[in-house]
Amino acid sequence: MAQMTYRQALNQAMREEMQRDPDVYLIGEDVGEYEGAYKVSEGLLQEFGPKRVIDTPISEEAIAGAGIGSAMVGLRPIVEMMTINFALLAMDQIVNHAAKLRYMSGGQLKIPLVLRAPQGAGMQLGAQHSQNLESWFLHVPGLKVVAPSTPYDAKGLLKSSIRDDNPVIFFEHELLYGVKGEVPEEDYSVPLGVAEVRRAGSDVTIVSYLRMVNIALGAAKALESQGVEAEVIDLRTLKPMDLDTLVGSLKKTHRLVVVEEDYKTCGTGSEIVASLQKEAFDYLDAPMERVATAEVPMPYAKNLERAALPSEQSVIDAVYRTLARETYQLTRV
């Protein structure tokens, strides 16, 4: 398999789907001439032209509305928000129209729209540009929510999202764009709603998504040296969520730690814990633990930003709490 970055995998997914289906097009701010704020749409304007790679004015509500309207008449738009923070300006279109029109039309209208949006902290972009808003969209019936952590999944899940007849909110973490991984050269897709076990273990289950999967894997590696075998599950799709895989893991480990970059209050972890309290209560040997971002507007200062975000050490501490053992301090050479 070829090695490519998360950014290149997304680009390849859009290119292949636009070649396969003439109804697929890309619309957003600076997606054409500038090739995207994070260069995800590099080369697409040159290949497909301005009718299928459309630069827009700075109006998120208009961008989302144009995508929804075109989806209603049979096109398959990929709507790029420069950042999920700007999608707040398009919430009426996303929540009141994209999410509801198929239901309100009795299934006569399909809304095959993908809204791609980078999000997350760690780049010193300040409080207004460092948010994680996935739980906002999880709350809305009619939307699917996808959050890949690897280049392989970024490509495969984006292709599945583009082919889906329902609106999909597709989250991309800004710090993952340069991450490399193996991606098959042949055509493939990754189904929505299926989690992936990234690391097998028997002592505790760690559940995460997006960039926090890498934090969880780093913590699991450190825990191994202390005799703790952690199973790490990458959700990949937040809605629909693959609870069967989580329950299956808890039948084996009997302990759970959820790691998210969102806030704890009404976050994705809240839904995971509430669901597993019902579906897997009999398998639990200890209270479920949650690791999340500190509930403050994200600081700009690098040291404060780092302190606010989940770390490998905070995951390790949570694992040791659920194991009822004393923790140890992670050290780096």
Q: Which residues are catalytic?
A: 60, 129
Radius of gyration of the chain (CA): 20
**Residue labelled with tokens 């209560």:** 281
Query: In this structure, what token pair is assigned to residue 155?
Result: 């490509």
**Element of type H or E holding 317:** helix 312-323
Q: What is the DSSP string of 30-87?
A: TSSTT--TTSTTTTHHHHH-TTTEEE--S-HHHHHHHHHHHHHTT-EEEEEPSSGGGG
Q: Cα 152 from chain centroid?
A: 13
As a whole number of angstroms, the distance between CA 136 and CA 114 comes to: 16
Query: What is the length of the chain?
Result: 333
Nearest to 271 by CA among 244, 250, 294, 290: 290
